[in-house]
């Protein structure tokens, strides 16, 4: 009798979990625009993607639009990012943040593209090739505005034009990102929130699908600060509509604001795990500075991803 009760109890605990897993599995692969989930920038990637509450450079155009309001009003910033993605894909991002005199806040423009090399066309009757090639790719173009409403709170919004193409077929749609950033005022702690890819359905090859609107919330804090060293830790939680909840952990160690070492972990991801990287901050002119960053991400069964970034502040 006792064994029967234990068995029933275990079944009662397992069935809801199995049902939840089944619900998640039912949603996987049902959304379009999956490339919109790929994070940009070597710095953020090396911190395990935990960047929604850091968001203090031009890659905030992707992670949290509110962050560009914190960039020096007398400066502009250019960010160039490239990733060698599995399956011989390339992922590139460029972002530019600038200010307009007499208009409060900051503006930004950005573009992302996931591309592949041309492939040889084959058919059922010509399995060894027709002599023609085709390619496929996805890209976005975004315009961002952000503003600090107090010395602790800022908010921003991005409008994105999304294009997808396969051979001679293509489709376009629009989506929006919104974000907020709040300085707690203790230990450099910040709280960030963003909702990405808010949009309508996209129709491709006579089939409609939604794009994945993702909710992110996180916090960052200064764990160590001295004249020569600084350590920042970050945590992030995200909820994609087509998979289980995810968490990101990361940290960045700075030595004399010149050498940066970073590490992090993507928890709950199907194909991303541990991450790490390094960067250098150095002058390029009398008034200009630059960052050179690298990040490695373990992609589990898919191999690895390598990201390279250059940032110019002038």
Helix (H) or strand (E) holding 203: strand 201-204
308 SS3 class: strand
- Residues constituting the chain: 314
- Averages of pLDDT over each 10 residues, the chain, 314 residues: 38 40 50 87 97 97 97 95 93 97 95 91 86 88 97 97 86 94 94 93 75 93 95 95 90 97 95 96 90 97 96 95
- Rounded distance between C-alpha atoms, residue 230 and residue 88, angstroms: 37
For the chain, domain boundaries = 31-313
Residues 113 and 94: beta-carbon distance below 8 Å: no
Under CATH, to which class is 31-313 assigned? mainly beta
- Rounded distance between C-alpha atoms, residue 293 and residue 51, angstroms: 15
DSSP assignment string, 151-196: SSEEEEEEEEEEEEEETTEEEEEEEEEEEEEEE-SSTT-EEEEEEE
Q: What is the pTM of this model?
A: 0.87
């Amino acid at each position: 009798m006792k064994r029967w009760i234990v068995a029933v109890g275990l079944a009662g605990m397992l069935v809801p979990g199995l049902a939840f897993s089944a619900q998640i599995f039912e949603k996987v692969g049902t959304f379009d625009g999956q490339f919109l989930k790929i994070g940009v920038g070597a710095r953020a990637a090396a911190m395990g993607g935990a960047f929604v509450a850091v968001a203090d450079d031009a890659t905030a155009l992707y992670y949290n639009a509110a962050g560009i309001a914190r960039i020096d009003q007398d400066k502009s910033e250019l960010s160039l990012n490239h990733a060698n993605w599995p399956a011989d894909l390339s992922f590139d991002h460029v972002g530019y943040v600038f200010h307009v005199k007499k208009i409060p806040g900051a503006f930004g423009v950005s573009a992302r593209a996931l591309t592949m090399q041309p492939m040889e066309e084959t058919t059922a009757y010509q399995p060894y090739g027709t002599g023609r090639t085709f390619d496929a790719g996805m890209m976005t173009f975004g315009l961002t505005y952000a503003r600090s409403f107090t010395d602790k709170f800022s908010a921003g919004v991005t409008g994105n034009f999304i294009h997808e193409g396969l051979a001679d077929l293509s489709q376009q749609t629009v989506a929006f990102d919104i974000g907020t950033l709040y300085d707690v005022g203790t230990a450099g702690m910040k709280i960030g929130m963003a909702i990405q890819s808010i949009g309508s359905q996209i129709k491709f090859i006579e089939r409609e699908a939604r794009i994945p609107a993702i909710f992110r919330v996180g916090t960052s804090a200064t764990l160590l600060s001295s004249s020569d060293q600084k350590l920042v830790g970050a945590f992030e939680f995200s909820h994609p509509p087509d998979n289980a909840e995810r968490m990101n952990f990361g940290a960045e160690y700075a030595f004399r604001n010149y050498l940066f070492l970073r590490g992090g972990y993507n928890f709950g991801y199907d194909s991303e795990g541990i991450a790490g990287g390094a960067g250098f901050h150095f002058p390029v002119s009398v008034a200009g500075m630059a960052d050179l960053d690298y990040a490695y991400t373990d992609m589990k069964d898919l191999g690895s991803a390598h990201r390279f970034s250059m940032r110019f502040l002038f």
